[in-house]
Amino acid sequence: MTQNTLKTNIQTALTALEALLEQLSGNEIPLDASAPKNIADRSPTEALQNDLKERFVLYAADQSAVVALDPDWVPLFSKAMFGEEMAPDADGALDLMQEISSQGFGTVQSTLAEEGLTLPEVQFDTAAPGQAPPSPDEAAWLVPFTAQRGGGELDGLVLLPDGAEASSDASTTTESAPQEAAAGADQSSGASQPAGGGAPSSAADESEGVEVSPAAFSELGDEEISGDGDSGTFKLLADVDLEVRVELGRRELPLADVLKLTTGSVVELEKMVGEPLSVYANGRLIAEGEAVVIDEQFGVRITNLASKGNREKAFF
């Protein structure tokens, strides 16, 4: 794997991750990566090991891939996922990083697949700061990166194995496949030739005797529409049941606020006191009214009807 190829793929992955972070948080969080450094010929330094111990480490042991993130990424991710910031040492921080790693890898995997690069399916494990991280002995490339957030900067690093052999094997397989297919086709063609050079027999030849003709339909005549075409035809639908719904008010809440709802919580509606209630039929507004009580049951007194055309649309 060359440095230029890796740099191109890293940039594509960062662009996809920027879009994911913007979708989660609603804010632009630019990511920038330094040029990949080849460390294949160098044994892991003590400084690198210590650097990993101070970070959240996401690693796929079977692929020798490691992502190490500064602890300050936790408040960013928790704010995006839950609407509130979580301390890096809080319960659930490790699970949060595990979830983010799965989402991030899935995004990168699908994006690179569109560019013709297939990543294997992997399962990331996580290690919190202070825990013993996996040894980066098999790492061949080091890619530091940063993220800009609210005037500050978050950093991290990626350790990747060298994929040169896999790329070479894939190239060889791709190049040899057409030759093998062509050879197989020649052998198959030769095997179908009878002795003496006669014409080959095949299922295609046998199908030549099948008679095929276009479908024929009888003439239906001129178009004719019966009925008077006025609203009286709605009588045919008089027994159709409609779902009638009376809406007191609405309120949009972020998922984080919905999860906080408990017994006794109060949800403030957007409708003011005294405003009419909305009456819907099949999801269409047909009238407005006011709440009343009828024999210990709630009811609604119609105070204003929607247009006739809008009410008729509720049938469809």
Percent of the chain with pLDDT over 90: 3
> Three-state SS for 159?
strand
Contact by Cβ (8 Å): 139, 160: yes
What CA–CA distance (Å, rounded) separates 127 from 137?
Answer: 17
Closest CA to 142 of 252, 231, 10, 292: 10
Predicted local confidence at residue 30, as pLDDT: 84
Q: Across 33-42, 47-56, 151-160, 271-280, which has the greatest mean pLDDT?
A: 271-280
Question: Average pLDDT, stretch 133-146?
Answer: 76
Question: Average pLDDT, stretch 90-113?
Answer: 83
Half-sphere exposure (CA, 13 Å, Cβ side) for 139?
Answer: 27
Residue with tokens 């003496």: 196
Closest CA to 39 of 140, 184, 170, 147: 140
Tokens encoding 302:
């119609």
Closest CA to 96 of 63, 122, 73, 119: 73
Q: Which residue has the higher pLDDT, 79 or 312?
A: 79
Residue with tokens 């791709």: 174
| Residue 288, phi then psi, degrees to nearest 5 | -125, 150
Predicted local confidence at residue 99, as pLDDT: 82
What CA–CA distance (Å, rounded) separates 105 from 121?
Answer: 9
What CA–CA distance (Å, rounded) separates 200 from 190?
Answer: 9
Predicted local confidence at residue 2, as pLDDT: 65
Predicted local confidence at residue 81, as pLDDT: 76
Percent of the chain with pLDDT over 70: 69
Contact by Cβ (8 Å): 113, 119: yes
Mean pLDDT lowest among 25-34, 128-137, 160-169: 160-169
Contact by Cβ (8 Å): 131, 42: no
Residue 77 CB partners (closer than 8 Å, separation 6+): 24, 96, 97, 100
Hey, what amino acid is at 304? Answer: N
Q: Which residues of 280-296 are buried (b: 16+ CB within 10 A; e: fewer)?
A: bbeebbbbbbeeeeeee
Contact by Cβ (8 Å): 74, 168: no
Predicted local confidence at residue 148, as pLDDT: 82
Round the average pLDDT of the chain to a whole number and report it.
Answer: 74
Whether the predicted pLDDT of 43 surpasses 70? no
Whether the predicted pLDDT of 144 surpasses 80? yes
Question: Average pLDDT, stretch 72-93?
Answer: 83
Whether the predicted pLDDT of 86 surpasses 50? yes
164-220 pLDDT, tens digit per residue, is 433 334 333 334 444 444 444 444 444 444 444 444 444 444 445 677 777 766 676
pTM score: 0.48
Q: Which residue has the higher pLDDT, 132 or 19?
A: 19
DSSP secondary structure letter of residue 131? S
Predicted local confidence at residue 222, as pLDDT: 66
